Amino acid sequence: MTAVERQAVHREAASGSDLLTRAASSKLTQQAFGYWQSGALFELLSSGLVDRLDGTSSGEQLAHECGLHPEGTLALLRAAQAMGLVAPAGTGWALAPAVEPFLDPGSPTSLRHWFAVMDRWREPWSSLSTTLKSAEGGGGSARLETDPAYVRDFIIGMHEFARLSSNAVIDAVRDAFPAPGAQDTLLDVGGGAGTYAIAALLAAPDATGTVLDHPDVVPLCDEIARHEGVADRLSAVAGDYRGSYGDRRYGTVLLSNVLHQEDDDNAVAMLRESRRVTRPGGHVVVHTHLSGGQRPKLFPALQGVSAFVLWSGGAGMTEERLHNLLSAAELKAARISTVRDSGTTIAVCPV
């Protein structure tokens, strides 16, 4: 662009007359104060206000009950109303019906733990600038991971988010998972609450599965497996996924949303180990957010930044990186497909 053309664009922006220019400035403005919105949402949740919105208590009463500043609370409620989270109702305030299924902790689609994790990650994100300048990179979740309440929020939060589309993900690669009636077995590496293993086992009532994860995660996976009625077929095993996966052989080894947490050496070692414990005729399945090449998609691209601040060696996943990792592990994807419901990508590698 020449200097004259640039000046014309600046003039256009200053007058705000062009629709595209106005849309660009509005998008930029939204991005600049996006953290105001997440701050208001997280405070609504963590202050306990959200659980007292029964349509009877006024803003002042709510502030008193939660031990908050009355005027600040009213400002927060008005902001939450403008964001479509709450609405005046009866003699007080209530949750907006559209968000109730996600903010009511008793709802089967509740995302409360997931929001709590996003709230906790604000601290590592706030050190992005320092992390970028350091030679070692991230590791900002290490301190959080020693807190059992964080581990619970993280594991249950990932489950809340993943279960919204786990059936669609498994359906998209049905042939790589145990078939209905087959007595096959699968290994879910870093499976957390076992969300995808559970979806796969519910679709194949004779199959069994193992989730490999940190010792602190095992009881949480057991709890979810019991809740989903698959405790007799899904066992959670404590272990380090950077080490050995044992002597058994599996029909499917799933690596779902774990490789972005690791550097290339660890990720290749994990893929090799997955190949080793897959029986001939079985599959290694990689499930990940892929940020695309020339035109990155917003969530996976930001996830790359998040992985960088949170986990030492974490780097997000691009198409090119996935191909390089698979080929370094001597795996070849028979197909790579995107799941519409989740926007995630699955690579199916026959062994």
Ligand X SMILES: C[S@@+](CC[C@H](N)C(=O)[O-])C[C@H]1O[C@@H](n2cnc3c(N)ncnc32)[C@H](O)[C@@H]1O
Residue 62 CB-density burial (10 A; 0-12 exposed, 13-18 middle, 19+ buried):
buried
Q: Which of 78, 86, 101 is nearest to 53 (CA)?
A: 86
Structure tokens at 103: 């903010």
Among 86, 258, 285, 347, binds ligand X (CB under 6 A): 258
CB of 288 to ligand X, least distance (A): 9
For 137, the 3-state DSSP assignment is coil
User: Residue 236 in contact with residue 213, Cβ under 8 Å?
Assistant: yes
Q: Please, which of residues 29-48 interact with ligand X by CB under 6 A?
A: none
* Minimum CB distance to ligand X smaller for 56 or for 266: 266
Strands 250-256 and 335-338: unpaired
Q: Does 213 bind ligand X (CB under 6 A)?
A: yes
Q: Does 123 bind ligand X (CB under 6 A)?
A: no
Structure tokens at 339: 């799941």
For 254, the 3-state DSSP assignment is strand
Q: Which stretch binds ligand X (CB under 6 A): 54-62, 73-81, 111-119, 210-218?
A: 210-218
* Minimum CB distance to ligand X smaller for 227 or for 242: 242
Q: Does 242 bind ligand X (CB under 6 A)?
A: yes
Among 124, 140, 157, 191, binds ligand X (CB under 6 A): 191
Say which DSSP state 343 is in: -
Structure tokens at 128: 């992005």
Structure tokens at 200: 């796969």
Q: Does 78 bind ligand X (CB under 6 A)?
A: no
CB of 261 to ligand X, least distance (A): 6
CB of 101 to ligand X, least distance (A): 20
Q: Does 286 bind ligand X (CB under 6 A)?
A: no
Q: Which stretch binds ligand X (CB under 6 A): 111-119, 192-200, 297-305, 331-339?
A: 192-200
CB of 255 to ligand X, least distance (A): 8
Among 158, 310, 315, 348, binds ligand X (CB under 6 A): 158
* Minimum CB distance to ligand X smaller for 76 or for 117: 117
CB of 131 to ligand X, least distance (A): 19
* Alpha-helical runs (H) found in the chain: 3-15, 19-32, 34-46, 59-66, 70-82, 100-103, 112-120, 122-126, 128-133, 148-162, 166-172, 195-203, 218-227, 264-276, 298-310, 319-328
DSSP bridge pairs for 235 = 210
List interacting residues with ligand X (CB under 6 A). 155, 158, 162, 190-192, 195-196, 213-214, 217, 240-242, 256-258, 261
